[in-house]
Amino acid sequence: MIKALFKAFALRWKSYRHRFVPWIALNLQKNERTLRQVKDRSQDKLLQDEEVLGSLLCLFTQLLKHDLKNQRELPQSTHNLDANVPDERSAVMLNTLGFGVARRRSSLQFAGNGVFVTQGRAPKGTIVAMYPGTIYQADEPIFFQSIRNPFVFRCIDGVLIDGNDRAISKTVYRSCSGRDRLGPFLLSDCSWLTSDPVNPLAVGQYVNNCSNEKAANVCYQEYDVPDGFPLELRQFLPNVKYRADTQRPLRCVVLVSLRDINCGEELFSNYYTIVH
């Protein structure tokens, strides 16, 4: 009985400790070598904003072409039920970027799901994922959404991204996304809330934290979407502003590979490192 209780506690602790500030502080020192490596490599942006934009435009354009082709070729009802569409989107990503990523059971025993390179090879300095979710400016309320929510990501300027695909976070995202339509154009993508995101990059919230055994192979980089971003491609952006009236640009966070990442490798980030 005591053994079972202890085991249950140990399991809970292993998944909770990444949010327990004293544990984080202790491990920042323990992980100093890993952290320094990541910091050294990411003091400057790994990718310039123009490169981030170029990559996103390239993938989104191909995804749009694929969707338009499907709509032309298949009647609407068949299209919606077509089980191969997610595979086709992965194929679009593989053809465009040279690799695919997906959510799978983590290689870490107590870490739940993680994100893996599942096809091809991601070269160093490539966008391998995006962090989806609702964007809260530093002064906007997130109290209820943040309760028992390990998916809240904090940018350097205090902007928060709630990447939880469940409960109240999911409702808030859907509602903000529905609100922000512009005529026929959807300005954001809701499908990351399901297991088949139309944008295969939108899985970054499932990337696990590095450790002494598993060094970080990706880092977070902030990216503000410029006003000129094509309207018809915004439907693939997995982020939406919580408040519509803010003049600030839409914040996105992309995960960039720190080295070549081979097929079958899990992505690990450092939760405490981000570059502007």
Ligand X SMILES: C[S@@+](CC[C@H](N)C(=O)[O-])C[C@H]1O[C@@H](n2cnc3c(N)ncnc32)[C@H](O)[C@@H]1O
Residues 179-208 that bind ligand X (CB under 6 A): 205-206, 208
C-alpha–C-alpha distance, residues 238 and 129, integer Å: 11
Residue 78 found at the interface with ligand X (CB under 6 A):
no
Q: Count Cα atoms within 13 angstroms, Cβ side, for 10.
A: 7
Q: Which is nearer to ligand X, 14 or 276 (CB)?
A: 14
Among 110, 167, 194, 195, binds ligand X (CB under 6 A): 110
Residue 242 found at the interface with ligand X (CB under 6 A):
no
Among 119, 211, 246, 273, binds ligand X (CB under 6 A): 211
C-alpha–C-alpha distance, residues 8 and 38, integer Å: 33
Task: Note whether 199 and 130 are within 8 A (CB).
Answer: yes
Q: Which is nearer to ligand X, 78 or 212 (CB)?
A: 212
Among 71, 113, 171, 175, binds ligand X (CB under 6 A): 113
Question: Rounded to the nearest 10 degrees, how much is the dihedral formed by the CA atoms of 60, 65, 71, 73?
Answer: -150
Residue 248 found at the interface with ligand X (CB under 6 A):
no
Among 11, 13, 15, 166, binds ligand X (CB under 6 A): 15
Residues 148-177 that bind ligand X (CB under 6 A): 150-151
Q: Which is nearer to ligand X, 59 or 203 (CB)?
A: 203
CB of 235 to ligand X, least distance (A): 25
Six-digit token string for 82 = 């077509």
Cβ neighbors of 256 (< 8 A, separation 6 or more) are 46, 47, 125, 126, 127, 128, 218, 219, 220, 221
CB of 20 to ligand X, least distance (A): 10
Q: Which is nearer to ligand X, 34 or 208 (CB)?
A: 208
* Residues in a beta bridge with 130: 254
Among 20, 58, 69, 112, binds ligand X (CB under 6 A): 112
Longest dimension (CA), the chain: 63
- If DSSP codes are grouped into helix, strand and coil, which group holds residue 50? helix
Helix axes 32-42, 21-30, angle to 10 degrees: 80
In terms of phi and psi (left: phi > 0; alpha: psi -120 to 50; beta: otherwise), the region of 148 is left
CB of 185 to ligand X, least distance (A): 30
Residue 111 found at the interface with ligand X (CB under 6 A):
yes
CB of 117 to ligand X, least distance (A): 17
Which residues of this protein are in contact with ligand X, per CB under 6 A?
Answer: 14-15, 18-19, 106, 108, 110-114, 150-151, 205-206, 208-209, 211
